[in-house]
Amino acid sequence: MTLPTVAIIGRPNVGKSTIFNRIAGDRISIVEDTPGVTRDRIYSHGEWLGKSFAMIDTGGIEISDAPFMEQIKSQAEIAIDEADVIIFMVSGKEGLTSEDEQVAKILYRSDKPVVLAVNKVDNPEKRDDIYDFYALGFGDPYPISGVHGLGLGDLLDQVIASFPEETEQEPDDSIHFSIIGRPNVGKSSMVNALLGEDRVIVSNVAGTTRDAIDTHFTADGTDFTMIDTAGIRKRGKVYENTERYSVMRAMKAIDDSDVALFVINAEEGIREQDKKVAGYAHEAGRGVIIVVNKWDTLKKDNHTQQDFENVIRDEFQYLSYAPIIFVSAKTKQRIEKLPALIKQVNENHKRRIQSSALNDVIMDAVAIHPTPTVSGKRLRIYYATQVAVGPPTFVIFVNDPELMHFSYQRFLDNQIRDHFDFTGTPIRIIKRNRK
Ligand code: GDP
Ligand code: GDP
């Protein structure tokens, strides 16, 4: 279920992030606003004519203190490495610049399809401004306006037409999981510990659109596919050590996973970067397991584990459903418990509840805790049904969705969790007017 990836590249100020936000805009509002989720707008999704794709704003990945050419070169390399289609953006307002030509030069060396977008063509009379850009050698320039939202349809038509053909893939029932976390938390060590001699490694398959290596293995009779984000750092390109690049890679890996193992370093505690990645796993609706690694490094007493758990629960309130496991990749303490835990979380992530059982729980909940009244109008709940798995998604039909506030929704969420095992998975509740 790897999505095609579109990367936007161009010199600073041509409007890359404006366009990125426009294309991503509709999707972002789908996800509830969750307190504590830190957004990092360099990676998101878009959809056009029913086709979904992942999208990277390479301009957002800056290499600190690097000179302009170094920045642009790295950003173009990221686009070439990560994308199936590249949107090369220039500005019709400023016209063709030598910086645009430098970006073009780097893109010539790649065989990825490039779609040339001329932004800031804010009104139709300005469309003549685009002819100079034929000189870049990327075919027809597409005039667009980020501020007015003009021309995006034609641009996206061309982007979608340039996606690689979908290849027939063998059905793959294995559980896909990723190991994510900041550099140095111990991801590679955990990969090695997990793949200890007793596990059968079936194969290493290079992904089609990315360099990350998927490792297939079997543990306790279950097939797993591990998406390794640690390995990529070791190729040695300049940008691979930048924080925002690793955040972006982690987000991509999460998209491809059923379950994300979110690794925290017990020695260093929780950092800002941890929050971005964890927030994305939650937003993306994947199963999440919080793995506290390097547990061997702490001097422990009776309270250490509980104290650590309290800190995590406090920092990641929206991940209250995620189990926490304390491990050491070095001594292998509790590493052997991971496969079973991943399997369990994956099952919960795919769990389907019968409507009758679900409605019994909802109606009992309403009896315990009557629905609220807002300005004299009482919320009425008629019926609930599960409409999707991975993550489990429920539609609740009510008289007026506005009357169901966050606190009542959370109460129902908790009631559902009390009766069915959804450990490790977010669940989504959609309120809908009964027709
Ligand atoms: P980036 O550095 O390439 O990501 O560029 P930004 O998206 O930050 O935009 C740079 C500036 O150009 C901002 O002031 C935007 O408001 C402006 N801008 C973006 N798109 C358009 C457009 O279509 N028309 C005009 N006139 N200005 C735009
Ligand atoms: P990555 O960057 O997340 O892949 O982290 P690595 O697996 O490369 O580990 C970074 C460093 O932490 C290495 O020096 C490891 O030996 C060390 N390390 C990893 N896991 C543990 C652990 O559980 N305990 C201790 N003490 N050190 C660890």
Centre of ligand 2 to C-alpha 190, Å, is 8
Domains, the chain, with CATH or none: 5-161 (3.40.50.300), 175-349 (3.40.50.300), 355-433 (3.30.300.20)
Give the number of the ligand closest to the Cα of residue 92: 1
Query: What gap in Å lies between CA 266 and CA 296, rounded to an integer?
Result: 9
Q: Are residues 270 and 292 in contact, defined by beta-carbon separation less than 8 angstroms?
A: no
Bond prior to 67 in cis (omega within 30° of 0): no
Mean pLDDT taken over the chain: 88
Report the 10 Å Cβ neighbour count for 160.
19
Minimum CA distance residue for ligand 2 atom 25: 294
Centre of ligand 1 to C-alpha 13, Å, is 6
Residue 181 is assigned to a ligand binding site: yes
The burial class, CB within 10 Å (0-12 / 13-18 / 19+), for 110 is middle
294 CB within 6 A, ligand 2 = yes
Which ligand 2 atom is nearest residue 183's CA? Answer: 2
Lowest mean pLDDT among 34-38, 392-396, 420-424: 34-38
Centre of ligand 2 to C-alpha 23, Å, is 39
Helix, strand, coil content of the chain in percent (nearest 5): 40, 25, 35
145 CB within 6 A, ligand 2 = no
Report the 10 Å Cβ neighbour count for 35.
7
Centre of ligand 1 to C-alpha 14, Å, is 6
- The tens digit of pLDDT for each residue in 178-225 reads 999 888 899 888 988 988 755 555 555 543 334 456 788 888 899 999
Which ligand 1 atom is nearest residue 18's CA? Answer: 7
Residue 60 is assigned to a ligand binding site: yes
334 sits in the region (left: phi over 0; alpha: psi -120 to 50; else beta) called left
Centre of ligand 2 to C-alpha 185, Å, is 6
Q: What is the pLDDT of residue 208?
A: 37
Share of the chain above pLDDT 70, in %: 90
Residue 58 is assigned to a ligand binding site: yes
- The tens digit of pLDDT for each residue in 306-344 reads 999 999 999 999 999 999 999 999 999 999 999 999 999
- The tens digit of pLDDT for each residue in 155-182 reads 999 999 999 887 666 678 899 999 998 8
Q: What is the mean pLDDT of residues 358-376?
A: 94
Q: Which residues have CB under 8 Å from 408's CB, separation 6+?
A: 371, 372, 379
Query: What gap in Å lies between CA 60 and CA 46, rounded to an integer?
Result: 17
Q: Where does ligand 1 bind, in terms of residues with CB under 6 Å? A: 10, 12-18, 59, 93, 119-120, 122, 145-147
Give the number of the ligand closest to the Cα of residue 15: 1
Which ligand 1 atom is nearest residue 21's CA? Answer: 7
Which among 369, 372, 354 has a CA at the least distance from the CA of 419? 354
Dihedral (C-alpha) 327, 331, 332, 333: value to the nearest 10 degrees?
A: -50
Query: What gap in Å lies between CA 78 and CA 416, rounded to an integer?
Result: 43
Q: How far is CA 258 from the centre of its chain?
A: 12
Residue 204 is assigned to a ligand binding site: no
Model confidence at 229, pLDDT cuts 50, 70, 90, reads confident
Centre of ligand 1 to C-alpha 147, Å, is 7
Token pair 């309290």 in the structure block, residue:
310
Q: Are residues 380 and 399 in contact, defined by beta-carbon separation less than 8 angstroms?
A: yes
Residue 388 is assigned to a ligand binding site: no
ipTM: 0.87
Centre of ligand 2 to C-alpha 266, Å, is 11
- Predicted model pTM: 0.86
